[in-house]
Structure 1
Amino acid sequence: MGAKRQDDVWDPLFDNKTDRIRAREVPRTPQTEAPAYRLAFADDDFMCREDLRPVRLQLELLKPEMLLSERGIKSTVVMFGGARIPEPGKDAWAAKNETQRKNLTAASKYYAEAKKFAQLCSRHSTETYNREFVVVTGGGPGVMEAGNWGAAEESAPSIGLNIILPHEQAPNEYVSPELCFNFHYFAVRKMHFLMRAKAITVFPGGFGTMDEMFESLTLIQTGRMERVPFILFGTDFWHKVVDFQELADFGTISPEDLDLISFVETADEAWQIIADHYEL
């Protein structure tokens, strides 16, 4: 029997789905129940074998890329930042002691600025039919939630790049469902953060935020990606936790590498840097 055709056009998706159903409808025998009989692409045990890691990496790269391309999304604004920063007026749920509670509660101002910044980006994005400057976050709570929420308030789509972690990380409710992705590999997730990035913003955060910040800076510093506005929210925070000037004074980075970074306090300042860079 030939491939399924609709108006003489081959439909591989129809055939693949149909074959999966047919493979489950055969008589149950020792042969059909054996793992070897399963269709390779429908065999979870086979797909999760260590030898198949290159295939899984490729799939994680392909799936979001294909769906983003189908939506016509050409560029993004990346929002990195801490999952533990609470919404203003809400409990600092991640605090382990009073010092942390005080610090995280004070840091809720960055939640508000993240939300406002996402609104500013999304207003411009809607003028491009949601193709340019689309907000992308890690899809979780804290600063990420604020970013997706700000976009939603402007009726604009936003992207969430979630990842499976030992502790629960469910997507926040403001990510556009059709642009809510889930990853196993950190490396592929990082690629998707930066492949379309026209600006990178970093709010106060922990190890994950630091990792994302320094990897992105390294790619720009070494010319592996285009130089884009790289904006850190919270001057005092960043100068306390990272002595960028000392790195330059010591000689482990060049003095001009400091020019890659802009420090801001507000959403308006951050958007102005982006607008000036691209002459919007």
Structure 2
Amino acid sequence: MTEKDLKDRRFYHADEETKFAERAPDRTPQTEHPAYKLAFRDTDFLLREELRPVRFQLELLKPEMLLDEARVGSTMVMYGSARIPSPDQAQAKIDAAKDGTDFEKKVAARLAEKARYYEEAYKLARLVSEKSIIEDGKRQFVVCSGGGPSIMEAANKGASDAGSESIGLNIILPHEQAPNSYVTPYLSLNFHYFALRKMHFLLRARAVAIFPGGFGTFDEFFELLTLVQTGKMKPIPILLFGKDFWTRIIDFDALAEEGTISKSDLELFNWCETAEDAWSCIADFYELEA
């Protein structure tokens, strides 16, 4: 490159400027003071209360840019409990509670009964991944989970066993947690803000499967329903697995009878029990080959 090259940059890249700063020969009270650090290299500065809007923007931009670079066109999002055991672990869950209280034994038995949903989550992720749908040069229905254990692990494992990459959107929590080993490393993303994480779950979502879960699953499920109900988000297939579980926990019909939702709102989601049920709903919605 010469100074006469019209394509040459007239300003240095930030990484080059950083190297200039690191090569500075003088170490003085001025250069050693935190105030002298380049703002984008000053972690203490970036973590200040006043910088929250900047951190919001960073958590919006980084995943968006990485997913664009990975040619992810759309996602198949899968929500569900972090506590449901795999079929292989179901009996161990019951055995571990055998000396516990009656309540603990009951909980263990109920969780073990739900192990079939781990299997269905795995099957759905594998089935969708094996379709290998490409449009406009981008991969469609890329499996995306919360990156954790149980149902989330089943989703990423299903995609991995199909030879496909998958996304894990983890969140920093006070207790120790880490991505499951089936998430594609360069698509393993971590968040500080729940709001930004939930936004990224839905920005590319073209179908969402919801399995039995707790507060987190409820939060994600009802926010999705609200976005579609209010017209803030265009309808997509919402696949609700485990009718016995959900109708025991929530009386959807009663909500309509009380007038707090419309009866037609109960048509926003589809009941499913198997991976094949779910894919059939997706294929019908998008007029794809079943």
TM-score bracket for this pair, using the shorter chain length: over 0.9
Letter in structure 1 aligned against 2:254: E
Q: In 2, distance between residues paired with 1:205 and 1:3?
A: 61
Task: Choose 93-102 or 110-119, whichever is displaced more.
Answer: 93-102
TM-score scaled by length of structure 1: 0.93
Letter in structure 1 aligned against 2:179: P
Aligned to 2:42: 43
Q: What does the per-residue CA deviation read over 1:165-186, in whole Å, with 9 as the maximum and x for residues that have no partner?
A: 1111200111111111000011
Aligned to 1:56: 55
Task: Choose 51-60 or 96-105, whichever is displaced more.
Answer: 96-105
- In the alignment, is the contact (CA less than 8 A) between 2:165 and 2:184 conserved in 1? yes
The residue correspondences of 1:113-124 to structure 2 (distance < 5 A) are: 113-124=120-131
Q: In 1, distance between residues paired with 2:29 and 2:155?
A: 53
Q: In 1, distance between residues paired with 2:287 and 2:115?
A: 31
Q: In 2, distance between residues paired with 1:9 and 1:174?
A: 42
Aligned to 1:220: 228
Aligned to 1:21: 19
Aligned to 1:163: 171
Is structure 2 residue 139 aligned with structure 1 residue 131?
A: yes
Is structure 2 residue 159 aligned with structure 1 residue 151?
A: yes
Q: What does the per-residue CA deviation read over 1:132-181, in whole Å, with 9 as the maximum and x for residues that have no partner?
A: 11111000101000000000011111111001011112001111111110
Distance 1:18 1:109, change over 3 A: same
- Gaps (5+ residues) in structure 1? none
Q: What does the per-residue CA deviation read over 1:221-265, in whole Å, with 9 as the maximum and x for residues that have no partner?
A: 001111011111101000011111110011100000001111111
Distance 1:8 1:218, change over 3 A: same
The alignment covers a number of residue pairs equal to 278
Is structure 2 residue 249 aligned with structure 1 residue 251?
A: no
Q: In 1, distance between residues paired with 2:224 and 2:242?
A: 18
Q: What does the per-residue CA deviation read over 1:46-83, in whole Å, with 9 as the maximum and x for residues that have no partner?
A: 10111111111011001111111112211111100001
Distance 1:110 1:264, change over 3 A: same
Aligned to 2:118: 111
Letter in structure 1 aligned against 2:234: E
Letter in structure 1 aligned against 2:120: E
Q: In 2, distance between residues paired with 1:3 and 1:110?
A: 62
Task: Give 1:28 shift.
Answer: 2.3
Q: In 2, distance between residues paired with 1:125 and 1:241?
A: 36
Aligned to 2:71: 72
- Structure 1 residue aligned with 2:190, among 182, 185, 195? 182
Letter in structure 2 aligned against 1:262: N
- In the alignment, is the contact (CA less than 8 A) between 1:130 and 1:156 conserved in 2? no
Letter in structure 2 aligned against 1:103: R
- In the alignment, is the contact (CA less than 8 A) between 1:126 and 1:156 conserved in 2? no
- In the alignment, is the contact (CA less than 8 A) between 2:146 and 2:152 conserved in 1? yes
Task: Give 1:125 shift.
Answer: 2.8
Letter in structure 2 aligned against 1:56: R
Letter in structure 2 aligned against 1:59: L
Distance 1:136 1:190, change over 3 A: same
Aligned to 2:271: 263
SS of match in other structure, 1:152: helix
Aligned to 2:219: 211
Aligned to 1:196: 204
TM-score scaled by length of structure 2: 0.89
Q: In 1, distance between residues paired with 2:17 and 2:82?
A: 42
- In the alignment, is the contact (CA less than 8 A) between 2:2 and 2:8 conserved in 1? no
Identity percentage over the alignment?
A: 55
Q: In 2, distance between residues paired with 1:21 and 1:173?
A: 35
Task: Choose 238-247 or 84-93, whichever is displaced more.
Answer: 84-93
- Gaps (5+ residues) in structure 2? none
Aligned to 1:92: 93
Q: In 2, distance between residues paired with 1:108 and 1:174?
A: 19
- In the alignment, is the contact (CA less than 8 A) between 2:133 and 2:141 conserved in 1? no
